[in-house]
Amino acid sequence: MAKLIGNKKVRTAVFISGRGSNLKNLIKFSKTKKSPIEINLVISDKEAAGLKYALHNKIKKKIIYFKNKKDAENKILDKLKKENIEFICLAGFLKILSKAFIKNFKKKIINIHPSYLPKYKGLNTSLRAIENKERFSGCTVHYVSSKLDSGKIILQKKIQIAKNETEKSLDKKVIKQEHKIYPAAILKIFN
Ligand code: GRF
């Protein structure tokens, strides 16, 4: 990834599908002096609750429905181009982007996942880890490839699973660490 030139921050889009706590956290981080990114656009594939953070922070937002994946991706690409977006953070975005889409942003799309990858790709990671009597779970920031949760790992954090852990309590521990490692991974990429 190219280094920052002068004080200009990298124009970034965040893609979401849900509540947007990582979006909220990234917006907060992006406003700090040390942040190499600024957030200029939020993309969602539905009326996601997290879109409110775009509204509160006067960030442009666009909902693109995925009735037809190719059409949807082309619409997103047009919007990204229009807004001169250089970098993409996926934050709870539930659609898998195609190879053709990713090619346009090689090594410039990253994702956060609530497990210690390569373990527990996909959904319901905390529940599956508890059911399998794992001793730890975690969270991972990685580059996006067209295979689900499989790109090169940038940063990850292990999280211990307690004896009486529930899905809810583990999810809570994981999201807390996500909010630490996502900005840290971005700093690692650009520094
Ligand atoms: C997070 O657990 C993230 O790792 C996963 O989806 C969840 C999104 O949460 N990809 P939020 O919408 O950022 O609160």
CA distance 57 to 8: 20
Average pLDDT estimate for 10-27: 98
- Give the pLDDT score at 1: 53
Whole-angstrom Cα distance, residue 11 to residue 18?
22
Q: Please give the radius of gyration of the chain, using alpha carbons only, rounded to the nearest integer.
A: 16
Query: In the prediction, which pLDDT does 3 show?
Result: 53
The first and second tokens of residue 11, run together, are 């124009």
5 CB contacts (<8 Å, ≥6 apart)? Answer: none
Q: Range of 141's domain?
A: 113-191
Q: Residue 4: what pLDDT? A: 54
For 113, the 3-state DSSP assignment is: strand
127 and 144 fall within a common domain: yes
141 and 157 belong to one structural domain: yes
Q: Which residue, judged by its Cα, is nearest atom 8 of ligand 1? A: 92
Residue 2 lies in a domain: no
Of 43, 72, 106, which one is at a domain's C-terminal end? 106
Closest atom of ligand 1 to 93 CA is 10
Q: How far is residue 58 from each of residues 19, 45, 54, measured CA to CA in Å?
A: 18, 19, 6
Residues 157 and 75 in one domain: no
Given a contact cutoff of 8 angstroms between Cβ atoms, the answer to whether 20 and 49 are in contact is yes
Residues forming beta bridges with residue 90, ordered by sequence position: 15, 111
Q: Do 40 and 54 contact (CB within 8 A), yes or no? A: no
Query: Do 79 and 31 share a structural domain?
Result: yes
Probe residue for ligand 1, chosen from 14, 16, 22 as the CB with the greatest number of ligand atoms within 8 Å: 22
Whether 2 has a pLDDT exceeding 60, the answer reads no
Mutation test of ligand 1: which of 26, 112, 142 has the most ligand atoms closer than 8 Å to its C-beta? 112
The count of structural domains within the chain is 2
Among 73, 58, 78, 60, smallest CA distance to 14 is for: 60
Beta bridge partners of 111: 90, 142
| Higher local confidence (pLDDT), 149 or 63 | 63
How large is the average pLDDT for residues 102-107? 95
Report if residue 3 sits inside a domain.
no
- Of 143, 105, 142, 103, residue with least CA distance to 12: 105
User: How confident is the model at residue 36, as a pLDDT?
Assistant: 98
List all residues whose CB is within 6 A of at least one atom of ligand 1. Answer: 16, 18-22, 50, 91-92, 112-114, 175, 178
The ligand 1 atom at the shortest distance from the C-alpha of residue 114 is 4
Q: Which residue has the higher pLDDT, 7 or 97?
A: 97
Which residue has its alpha carbon closest to ligand 1 atom 12?
20
| Tens-place pLDDT, residues 146-186 | 888 889 999 999 999 999 999 999 999 999 999 999 999 99
Q: What confidence tier does 6 reach under pLDDT thresholds 50, 70, 90?
A: low
Q: What percent of the chain has pLDDT over 70?
A: 97
Mean pLDDT for the chain? 96
Contact present, 152 and 111 (Cβ < 8 Å): no
Q: Which domain CATH number covers 164?
A: 3.40.50.170
pLDDT, one tens digit per residue, over 118-132 is 999 999 999 999 999
- Looking at residue 146, its pLDDT comes to 84
Residue closest by Cα to atom 6 of ligand 1: 92
Q: Mean pLDDT, to the nearest integer, of 3-10?
A: 73
Pick from 87, 106, 125: which residue ends a domain?
Answer: 106
* pLDDT attached to residue 148: 87
Closest atom of ligand 1 relative to the 94 alpha carbon: 10
**In angstroms, what is the span from residue 5 Cα to ligand 1's centroid?**
30
- Domain identity same for 89 and 132: no
**What is the DSSP annotation of 73-87?**
HHHHHHHHHHTT--E
* Residue 53 φ/ψ region, left for φ over 0, alpha for ψ in the -120 to 50 degree band, beta for the rest: alpha
Instruction: Give the residue from 101, 40, 42, 37 showing the smallest Cα distance to 69.
Output: 101
